[in-house]
Amino acid sequence: MRSNIKGKIILALDVPDISGARRLLNRIGNRLKIIKIGPVLFTAYGPKVVEMVRAKGTDVFLDLKFHDIPNTVANAVRQAVRLRVKMLTLHTEGGEEMLKAAAEAARQEAARLKVKKPLLLGITVLTSDQGSAGTRATVISRARLAKDCRLDGIVCSALEAAAVRRVCGKGFVIVTPGIRPGSAEAGDQKRVATAEAAFAAGADYIVVGRPILEAQDPVAAIQNIIEGCCNVTGDRYGRPDQGIA
């Protein structure tokens, strides 16, 4: 069971330089299977940081939140497929034409290279957004758009995950950031939840950054998250994945 849980916890590698990233990855070893690379590291180091993570036998979640005209986003997606990433993000606010162009570009490029297509995830509403009475409806609407445009899933907070799961079904991937242990400071995140609550709400993956990055013992922090999630997910991740990833 623990090995499956490890594949569902994504570390947000939000550190300022590649040497610090390498030290952290060396320290945590193979305890997690997916590492998220965001705009800070990628802007500084580009594909080099993706190659560094993949060389350690870890999958990459490329979180650059593409949002531009359809042709530009489609070409960016093709480049991401060439980097052999497992997941990548684009803003659902880009609209139907952009999302469909991205999905088709990913399919075509993966087929051309004979590699597995990365999961395309639509950003709905950022977890740093305070939210309002209409936030859930907005997230559901954008999730439906993502599914209609043949994206593989969406990114949303745990507060909307259950509603998205009801509307979009079991095969639709839900990734939940804004994960904070009960005693941790939320920081600039607003719509937060514990890892246990996120999985209980229907998330397939959770993204954890500062609770691990800022811990005195990152390995212990990871282990605490794994233990807590095993207590609430039952056998959900105790058997092989069923078409999620």
65 is catalytic: yes
Question: Where on the phi/psi map is residue 187: left (φ > 0), alpha (ψ -120 to 50), or beta?
Answer: left
**pLDDT tens-place string over residues 44-96:** 999 999 999 999 999 999 999 999 999 999 999 999 999 999 999 999 999 99
Strand 34-37 versus strand 153-155 pairing type: unpaired
Q: How many residues does the chain have?
A: 245
pLDDT at 133: 73
**Active-site hit among 6, 8, 33, 65:** 65
Rounded Cα–Cα distance for residues 88 and 172 (Å) = 15
Could you tell me the CA-to-CA distances from 146 to 38, 184, 200 in Å, in that order? 21, 32, 23
All structural domains of the chain with their residue ranges:
2-229
160-187 pLDDT, tens digit per residue, is 999 999 999 999 999 999 887 755 454 4
Please provide the average confidence, as pLDDT, over all residues in the chain.
88
What whole-number distance in Å separates Cα of residue 106 and Cα of residue 41?
A: 23
Q: What is residue 175's three-state secondary structure? A: strand
- Model-level pTM? 0.88
93-130 pLDDT tens trace = 999 999 999 999 999 999 999 999 999 999 999 877 65
CATH homologous superfamily of 2-229:
Aldolase class I (3.20.20.70)
pLDDT attached to residue 234:
44
In this prediction, residue 127 carries a pLDDT of: 73
Instruction: Measure the CA–CA gap between 174 and 154, rounded to whole angstroms.
Output: 5
